[in-house]
Amino acid sequence: MNRRKTAALIFCFILVMCICFAGCSEKGIADGTYSVDATLSGGSGKASIEEATVVVENGEATATIVWSSPHYEYMIIDEVQYDPIQESGNSTFEIPIVFDQEMPVSALTVAMSQPHLIEYTLYFDSSTLKGE
């Protein structure tokens, strides 16, 4: 392989790695723990997110969200099921997130006469991050 092809391959590799790790890094979000405003839309409009705490580690963000209801049995994000992390009180989940993009999620509620899987959209606004 000649030097030009080798240089081109190295450049492409570096470019792909930069894109893969761009998540929080491109927004300049350092590793740490933050509070953030999380907006929930969809469903019946009765539910909300009471609290959201984000941990950023190695450019990846994970949020602990507390729903306004204790009646959510699980959440589904990108076909992966997430179970609550609390034993009592309002439903609390630890989920992977992206900032400044609408995230489609589903949540199973048992607050009605029978369980219903409800479609929602979550939005985590990076401009509201506050370090803890």
> What pLDDT score does 102 carry?
97
Report the distance separating Cα 116 and Cα 53, nearest Å: 26
pLDDT tens figures, 16-70: 444 334 446 557 789 999 999 999 999 888 899 999 999 999 989 999 999 999 9
Question: Is the per-residue pLDDT at 13 higher than 60?
Answer: no
Domain 29-131 has CATH 2.60.40.1850: yes
**What DSSP string runs through 70-130?**
S-EEEEEETTEEE--S-SSSS-EEEEEE-BSS-EEEEEEE-SSSS-EEEEEEEEEEEEEEE
List the one residue out of 105, 85, 91 whose CA is nearest residue 41: 105
The model's confidence at residue 111, banded by pLDDT at 50, 70 and 90, is confident
Q: Which residues pair with 35 in a beta bridge?
A: 53, 130
pTM as predicted:
0.78
Question: Across the chain, what does the average pLDDT equal?
Answer: 86
